[in-house]
Structure 1
């Protein structure tokens, strides 16, 4: 029973095996801080080391596109450039933790959009990994499945994607006395080196099964085709609008952005009252910012409607900037041409310590 909770094998990793046979493999990772490469000790590192040990003659390329404090809403806009254009053969997706605070309907739309983008041409395998946060503990201890994980499993089942319950594997190690809790999650969320190794071991066990000789011998299926989406409003058509197409009023500049490696350019101002506007064709709009305590708030409207003001939380862990944060303006518009207008304002709250507006992404649905 425990194995079934941790490892779910739904389909052979054919693209990965073909890549191994060819002598070149490209591994992709996308998720939040638990998968982010910048700590240098997160779970992808032992998985990468395992690949090199098991397949010493294979040239291995790594595309770790995970960013701390981000969810699948941002990932669906980044997948094309960060993973698909880089021809990844196998992509690990980690958003069970970071999407937990989103409504189920929204996270199902963004996640399914991400998966459909990755799977559409049949040229890469996808594995979903479920990490852990303190809020999952009670339900998992009682044999249940947190809602964010259950939602992802529904998608995995629909698309025949394998999944690994890394959090369940680590929790079981604590239960058996193999690892202390503080060795795993000293802050209730981010693993130490020991906790990351536990996560990695669960993934390695999954890969050893999937890439075994018996599975390798399975004959390929017919040409891959995507099944009908579970949610017709998923974000698979997500695209972005170039910053150069925005009409501005006030002291805006487009800068090459050296402060956050995932952003190539930002449209920046710190001037209260600076404005921008643009038109787009679609049914929704999501904006991405380099955000922090010194960021502005936004006064905005769609299609000459009523003005709204953003109120974005700035948690204690949030710095003055450096958080690639999304802001969903709308996602259920009537498909067609829409106009967006925005003005930079101060948040007028104690936690708002500046008026920096640094727009990195204009995401269209």
Structure 2
């Protein structure tokens, strides 16, 4: 069996114009080495400190999952190297948030290798948005250090299965392959053995393992794999691919070609709301004094909260995008947003999953080039939380838990410059 993802059959496979390169998928082709990971492997073979960043969503964040298992495998392969890793994964987030948080969560650690895993969480995004975010991630990494190696890894879940069983790439993977091909970045589809087992009738996507003793149960929920089944299959595919990729490429600085899309998000940044102009009653929360801040202390170094209708945060940017990294949860209400004095949409910070508090984010519609004043205001308009929860057959058993209509704020997400 050849473990080669999108094996080079004709020279046209190298070109972006070859649609077959991004539309068709053979289950025996699990990786494409492109320009390899030569700087990482050279450093690992020599020994000494080597740092790996795992950048993705909940599938990467999971304990005893493909992240920890692959790190253990690499340590066995390169015993002289002092391998350390950065867990830069946040559940429920895609490359659109990733490109904004990359600097603070990954680049500050100066990694030698960055695994990028967003295929599942980007599943519902438009290809144009994925292009902008993924290209922004690549260009930010190489803007800091052109010797840092990057590897795209693709996970999967049950909703992706129909396309994969039809030997087509899911939309998110196809878009990411466009960027990988443009920049010569290796990519590994870690889930093709899962598809082979499904085709053979040997796999159950979701359920309890004890209920299917004669089959491989991928995950309890069809997305987040069991450590000894789905994650193990991921690591087996990745380890086979890395053994082949280790022979590809020459160490040195990566070339940075012209952008794939001119309006990519290379200049995305995340800025604390601590210094923003505030009106009304806002409380600075700390893990020692507030349960939400304590639950999310690994997400937010600084967190504000207000439950006062009309309280606001205001900032001015010269740029084209703005958003906020904040919280969704049972005691949350919604933001009313004003841009340059014109009222915009309401942004509820409560959804059908909001039986607990979790980090979240939202973006405003794309702004015209120029300087804009943006105001985020605590809306007095209440949400029908019972109706929202009913969408997932959830009920409110403790009304006190849902009584507040507060909003939280931690980081601004902008493309452009913050103006005074």
| TM-score (ref. length: structure 2) | 0.79
2:357 aligned to which of 317, 321, 325: 321
CA spacing shift, 1:331–1:111, aligned 2, 3 Å: farther
**Residue of structure 1 equivalent to 2:366:** 331
Question: Do the aligned partners of 1:73 and 1:326 also contact (CA within 8 Å) in 2?
Answer: no
- CA 1:102/1:311 → structure 2, altered by over 3 Å: closer, same or farther? farther
* Cross-structure match for 1:201: 236
SS of 1:18's partner is helix
Counterpart for residue 283 of structure 1: 320
What are the equivalent positions in structure 2 for 1:223-238 lying under 5 Å apart?
A: 223-238=253-268
Q: 1:174 to 1:348 in 2, by over 3 A?
A: closer
Q: Which residue of 295, 314, 325 corresponds with 1:259?
A: 295
Partner Cα separation in structure 2 for residue 321 and residue 299 of structure 1: 20
Local SS of the residue matching 1:53: helix
Q: Which moved more, 1:276-285 or 1:306-315?
A: 306-315
Q: What residue number does 2:22 align with?
A: none
Contact 1:286 1:330 in 2 (8 A): no
Distance in 1 (CA, whole Å) between partners of 2:135 and 2:352 is 28
1:97 aligns with 2:130: no
Instruction: Identify unmatched segments of 5+ residues in structure 1.
Output: none
Which consecutive residues of structure 2, in runs of 5 or more, have no partner in the other structure? 6-28, 207-216, 287-292, 390-401, 416-420
The 5-angstrom pairing of residues 239-250 of structure 1 reads 239-250=269-280
Residue 62 and residue 125 in structure 1: after superposition, are their counterparts in 2 closer, same or farther (change >3 A)? same
| Residue range with higher mean Cα deviation, 27-36 or 108-117 | 108-117
How far the C-alpha of 1:151 sits from its partner, in A, is 0.5
Moved more, 175-184 or 193-202: 175-184
Structure 1 CA distance for aligned equivalents of residues 80 and 344 of structure 2: 60
Map 1:81-160 → 2, pairs under 5 A = 81-120=104-143, 121-160=145-184
Q: How does 1:16-35 map to 2 (within 5 A)?
A: 16-20=40-44, 21-35=46-60
Equivalent of 2:409 in 350, 355, 359: 359
Distance 1:141 1:178 in 2: 14
1:239, distance to aligned residue in structure 2 (A): 1.5
| Contact residue 30 and residue 94 of structure 1 kept, 8 A | yes
Aligned position for 1:60? 83
Aligned length: 355
Aligned to 2:38: 14
SS in 1 for 2:120: coil
1:71 matched residue in structure 2: 94
Distance 2:108 2:362 in 1: 25
Compute the displacement of 1:326 (Å).
Answer: 1.4
Q: Is the 8 A contact 1:295 1:320 kept in 2?
A: no
The question of whether the paired residues in 2 share the 8 Å contact of 1:295 and 1:321 is answered with no
Cα 1:347–1:166 shift into 2, 3 Å: farther
TM-score (norm 1): 0.91
Q: Quote the RMSD (CA, aligned, Å).
A: 2.1
- CA–CA distance in structure 2, aligned partners of residues 154 and 100 of structure 1: 15
| Per-residue Cα deviation, 1:44-74 (whole angstroms, up to 9, x for no partner) | 1110111111122211111011111011111
- Once the two structures are superposed, residues 4-47 of structure 1 have per-residue CA deviations (whole angstroms, 9 ceiling, x without a partner) of 331111112122023212411101111111111xx422111110
Q: 1:307 to 1:141 in 2, by over 3 A?
A: closer
Aligned-partner SS, 2:281: coil
Give distance in 1, aligned partners of 2:129 and 2:182: 18
Which piece of structure 1 moves more, 68-77 or 169-178? 169-178
Structure with higher Rg: it is 2
**Distance in 1 between the 2:223 and 2:189 partners?**
15
Query: How many Å separate the matches in 2 of 1:219 and 1:8?
Result: 16
